[in-house]
A and B are shown apart, each in its own frame.
Chain A
Amino acid sequence: MSLLDAASEHDALELLHDLGCTDGLPVVVPTADRVDRMVLATGYEPDLVLGEMGPVYGSATIEKVATAAVMAGCTPDHAPVVVAAVRAICQPEFDLTEMQATTHCTAPLMIVCGPARHACGGIASGFGALGPGHRANASIGRALRLAMINIGGARPGSSDMALHGHPGKFTYCVAEDEENSPFPGLHTTFGYEPDQSAVIITGAEAPHSTFFTGDRDDPKSVESLLNVIGLVMANPGSNNVHLREGAITVIMNPDHTEVIRRAGLTREDVQAELASRATISVGTMRRINPTLFMQGINADDKGRFSEAADDDLIHVLKDPNRILVLQAGGSGLYTMVMPSWCAGPHRNAIVHSEIELDQVCEIPGMTL
């Protein structure tokens, strides 16, 4: 890895901006000393390769990932999550190169599960967990983005062709509120033990707010809640409706999961119910975009709907397991729904990686 020269911290920052190495915001200047200390915090050798990041196929070494973590403002506690996240998105199933290059706004949404939520700097899962003010969430998500920029080579308008992008492309990291959730940890559905930690990553749009207020006396409240989430999932403008693949993330606030809890539904029940309710009629799509939809963007759907009746329903997801259902956020009226890009050879597959807390050495007095 090459070193740059600058006369001052200020000049170094300006140089990094000029070279396109930042996300547009000021970064912590990654001096050799700071990077060395972050490498130490990972517990790995600096030249260990976590994977290859497209579109430039940069080699994601621990040293380069540590550099991104320093620039993002991470503390040593955050390092294991950043390492796990890079390892996850380098898996071929994530289609990182295609994701970085697409015109869609997709960004990797990191969901942190297990003890690492507390051990790695206190990753927020409550009020405003997807917004500003939480250092761990902000820094960890930003580190992944800076790795995608500087190791993967994503630059807006030349290699990252997102037409608009979205604010989650700066940072997009949330912890699951496992302690208050009616569901087991989301990571356990991917084969992890409850006492393990993992980061689950899916390419996602910005959150779509979904309003619902329940009535404790109404036994059909749960039906209403599932119906409205299903409708938002079936937003006719989203790629999910046109490509009918990908993933959809549903982050429910504690009041909404309480409705689920009272109805006695499991996570698998909610996934199945949402998959059955996330529908749109053939007639609606015919009116919106007759030529495109009837031809079928998805090769599997070619000609499939040309003879269908207007009342026939189209299910926007074929596999309920592609719906990530979890609790996070403060108590109130809103659930967040994140549709997805759905494209790439693996159709926006969900990836995950264990957060290895036992690799980390405690370093007394270590600050960056």
Chain B
Amino acid sequence: MRDSISIARLGIPAVALVTEEFWPQGDFFANSSGMPEVPRVKLPHPVAGTGEDKMAEVASDITPSIVELLSS
């Protein structure tokens, strides 16, 4: 989240990928940094260690959302 916020502050389009377990922390950081609307996409939790097939499935599911946010 902090990376995303720092990049967005530079004026570079950024989207944070946040798993559902860490979504509240994402909200917390977004609010505390004064950028409550910083773009983010929710991932299932966990992602790490779930295997290539599952990761490919997650990537496929979220790609349209990332593209949409980067285009908006």
Contact B32 A161 (CB under 8 A): no
CB neighbours (8 Å) of B27 from chain A are: 158
A137 at the interface (CB under 8 A from B): no
B38 to chain A, nearest CB (A): 14
Contact B28 A159 (CB under 8 A): yes
B25 at the interface (CB under 8 A from A): yes
Which residue of chain B is the closest to A157 with respect to CB atoms?
B24
Chain B 29-52 interface mask (CB, 8 Å, partner A; 1/0)? 100110000000000000000000
CB neighbours (8 Å) of A127 from chain B are: none
A57, A157, A158 — most chain B CB neighbours (10 Å):
A158
- 8 A Cβ contacts from A150-180 to B: 153, 155, 157-159, 161
Number of A-B contacts (CB under 8 A): 24
Contact A57 B32 (CB under 8 A): yes
CB neighbours (8 Å) of A101 from chain B are: 25, 29
Secondary structure at the A interface, as helix, strand, loop or mixed, is loop
A13 to chain B, nearest CB (A): 25
A97 at the interface (CB under 8 A from B): yes
Range of interface residues on chain B? Answer: under 10
* Bound Cα distance A98, B6 (Å): 14
B22, B27, B28 — most chain A CB neighbours (10 Å):
B28
Contact A158 B2 (CB under 8 A): no
Contact A55 B22 (CB under 8 A): no
* Bound Cα distance A161, B29 (Å): 12
B27 to chain A, nearest CB (A): 8
Contact A158 B32 (CB under 8 A): no
Which residue of chain B is the closest to A97 with respect to CB atoms?
B2
Q: A55-B32, A153-B32 are in contact. Are A161 and B2 (CB under 8 A)?
A: no
Within 8 Å by CB of B22, from A97, A155, A161, lies A161
CB neighbours (8 Å) of A159 from chain B are: 25, 28-29, 32
CB neighbours (8 Å) of A55 from chain B are: 28-29, 32
Chain A 87-116 interface mask (CB, 8 Å, partner B; 1/0)? 000000000011001000000000000000
- 8 A Cβ contacts from A321-359 to B: none
B59 to chain A, nearest CB (A): 19
* Bound Cα distance A98, B33 (Å): 14
A6 at the interface (CB under 8 A from B): no
Which residue of chain B is the closest to A98 with respect to CB atoms?
B2
Which residue of chain A is the closest to B24 with respect to CB atoms?
A158
Q: Could you list 4 further interchain pairs (A-B, Cβ under 8 angstroms) beyond the known A155-B28, A158-B25, A159-B29?
A: A57-B33, A153-B28, A157-B24, A159-B32
Q: Enumerate 24 A-B pairs (CB-CB under 8 Å) in ascending A order.
A: A55-B28, A55-B29, A55-B32, A56-B32, A57-B32, A57-B33, A97-B2, A98-B2, A101-B25, A101-B29, A153-B28, A153-B32, A155-B28, A157-B24, A158-B24, A158-B25, A158-B27, A158-B28, A159-B25, A159-B28, A159-B29, A159-B32, A161-B22, A161-B25
